[in-house]
């Protein structure tokens, strides 16, 4: 049975960005109903009970995050929307902002009501010029309609939403780096604790949520928890830490495929189905060698490596919050699936990846600043045919020793830098060793794996 998109249902409609069209489709009815009939705590409970997990990368339960705010705080309390979206090959947020901004804004308004925030900062990636202009136009419409500002609809609830453009830095996707940038400072992530829910923007309690998460809040409040939980993957009974992977998800498909696109599907679709059915298959009649399951920081899947006690390969893993981790990847990430064909050198790919992370490291933490630089130098040496076999072991050792998970850095950028290195070398080691032994120089192809927006 074909899945009918919900989050993307309006993107191809004429004037999908306008308030009038959105209201014809039932837009803002949930917000008006919440103001009139529900207490803020009831909205939080509904989102918490839905099982919604943040769509920005970490997958933390959204409603639970909202409950971390201090009780009876006098305010102000802030909501920050992370629309930096700088993970390579990720563009699901962009589509929502450009094509259906009011769906996102209604989710923001519901979230602000739930957490008793009177001010939301929408932090948007600088390169997203069209999205910025579309959102600003939509926000202006809301003020003119009396849905933003003072005493909204006579409810006594006040709310302002401000757009803030970043300056083109990947590190601003980290929530405390975003907050520092929002405050007009260098975007160096903060040491935690305190976490933003206790001390965030301007040292006040702050919730940071993702664009797609806000669109899901809109639909949960409109359609209910039973609808949201009717799709996706329930919790693993053998894993008490698994909160399940419910609801629809926007997946982006990029790299060596015939039809790069953003597609909405229930969580848990396999990589194979996503690529072969929705991405039109691998280009030029080739086969997939490797895949990034959720942005390059998640590491690599080996499409030919058999799963334990199964006839399937890593190409068949489900894309939920647990699936990629079962094959050594960091997680689902942004669900940006990037395909690498069988004729592309993993030496070239890894050098490309290391260039990106060495450039985007903010430099605050020594292990990340130095480690990303060393990894780039070594992969460059491999690419030029001057690599040594011991370089492979050093690369894996460095990638294992930097990041939050080994406890050496403040934020997770270095984990994201290390994971593609360790997974590429561990899963494709023979290819790297053959390149070293032959001493051949790689010809860097125009993969467009980075900056595929």
388-416 per-position pLDDT tens digit = 999 999 999 999 999 999 999 999 999 99
Q: Phi first, then psi: give them for residue 123, nearest 5 degrees.
A: -90, 110
Residue 332, H or E segment = none
CATH of domain 346-438: 1.20.1440.230
Q: Does domain 245-341 have CATH number 3.10.20.600?
A: yes
> 149, 162, 194: which is closest to 175 by C-alpha?
194
Residue reference for tokens 């990106």? 356
In angstroms, what CA-CA distances link 42 with 106, 116, 187, 333, 423? Answer: 17, 12, 35, 29, 44
Mean pLDDT, rounded, for 428-450? 73
Say what percent of the chain tops pLDDT 90. 93
On average, the pLDDT of the chain sits at 95
Residue 447 has what pLDDT? 43
Residue 442 has what pLDDT? 56
Q: Residue 445 — very low, low, confident or very high, per pLDDT cuts 50/70/90?
A: very low
Say what the pTM is: 0.94
Q: Residue 19 — very low, low, confident or very high, per pLDDT cuts 50/70/90?
A: very high
Residue 316 has what pLDDT? 98
25-70 per-position pLDDT tens digit = 999 999 999 999 999 999 999 999 999 999 998 899 999 999 999 9
Residue 384 has what pLDDT? 93
Pairing type for strands 78-83 and 119-124 reads: parallel
Each domain of the chain, given as residue ranges in start order, spans 19-230, 245-341, 346-438
Residue 453 has what pLDDT? 41
Q: Residue 439 — very low, low, confident or very high, per pLDDT cuts 50/70/90?
A: confident
Q: Residue 238 — very low, low, confident or very high, per pLDDT cuts 50/70/90?
A: confident
pLDDT-wise least confident of 210-219, 244-253, 331-340, 436-445? 436-445
Q: Phi first, then psi: give them for residue 142, nearest 5 degrees.
A: -65, -40
Q: Does domain 19-230 have CATH number 3.40.50.510?
A: no
* Measured distance CA(376)–CA(396) in Å, rounded: 13
* Measured distance CA(111)–CA(30) in Å, rounded: 12
* pLDDT at residue 444 greater than cutoff 80: no
Residue 306 has what pLDDT? 96
Order of strands, edge to edge, in the sheet holding 78-83? 160-165, 119-124, 78-83, 206-210
> 222, 263, 262: which is closest to 103 by C-alpha?
222
Q: Residue 441 — very low, low, confident or very high, per pLDDT cuts 50/70/90?
A: low
């Amino acid at each position: 049975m074909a899945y009918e998109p919900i989050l993307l249902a309006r993107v191809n409609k004429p004037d999908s960005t306008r308030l009038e069209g959105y209201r014809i489709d039932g837009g803002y009815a949930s917000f008006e109903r919440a103001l009139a009939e529900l207490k803020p705590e009831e909205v939080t409970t509904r989102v918490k009970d839905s099982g919604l997990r943040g769509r920005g990368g970490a997958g933390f339960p959204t409603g639970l995050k909202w409950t971390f705010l201090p009780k009876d705080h006098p305010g102000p309390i802030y909501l920050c929307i992370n629309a930096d979206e700088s993970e390579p090959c990720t563009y699901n947020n962009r589509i929502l902002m450009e094509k259906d901004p009011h769906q996102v804004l209604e989710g923001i308004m519901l979230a602000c009501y739930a957490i008793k925030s009177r001010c939301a900062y929408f932090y948007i990636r600088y390169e997203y010029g069209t999205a910025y202009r579309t959102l600003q136009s939509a926000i202006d419409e809301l003020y003119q309609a009396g849905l933003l500002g003072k005493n909204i609809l006579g409810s006594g609830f006040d709310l302002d939403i401000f757009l803030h453009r970043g300056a083109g830095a990947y590190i601003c996707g980290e929530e405390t780096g975003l907050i520092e940038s929002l405050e007009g400072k260098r975007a160096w992530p903060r040491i935690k604790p305190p976490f933003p829910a206790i001390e965030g923007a301007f040292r006040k309690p702050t919730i940071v949520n993702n664009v797609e998460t806000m669109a899901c809040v809109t639909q949960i409040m409109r359609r209910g928890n039973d609808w949201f939980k009717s799709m996706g993957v329930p919790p693993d009974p053998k894993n008490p830490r698994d909160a399940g992977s419910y609801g629809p998800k926007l997946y982006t498909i990029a790299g060596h495929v015939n039809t790069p696109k953003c597609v909405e599907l229930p969580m848990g679709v396999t990589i194979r189905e996503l690529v072969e059915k929705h991405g039109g298959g691998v280009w030029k009649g080739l086969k997939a060698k490797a895949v990034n399951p959720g942005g390059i920081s998640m590491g690599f899947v080996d499409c030919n490596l058999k799963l334990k006690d199964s006839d399937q390969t890593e190409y068949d893993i489900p894309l939920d919050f647990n699936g990629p981790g079962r094959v050594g990847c960091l997680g689902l990430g942004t669900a940006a699936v990037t395909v690498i064909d069988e004729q592309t050198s993993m030496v070239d790919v890894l050098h490309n990846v290391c260039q990106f992370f060495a450039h985007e490291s903010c430099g605050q933490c020594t292990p990340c600043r130095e480690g990303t630089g060393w990894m780039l130098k070594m992969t460059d040496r491999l690419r030029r045919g001057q690599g040594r076999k011991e370089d492979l072991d050093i690369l894996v050792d460095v990638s294992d020793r930097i990041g939050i998970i080994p406890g050496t850095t403040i934020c997770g950028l270095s984990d994201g830098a290390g994971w593609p290195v360790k997974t590429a070398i561990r899963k494709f080691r023979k290819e790297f060793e053959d390149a070293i032994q032959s001493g051949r120089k790689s010809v860097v192809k125009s993969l467009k794996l980075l900056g595929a927006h």
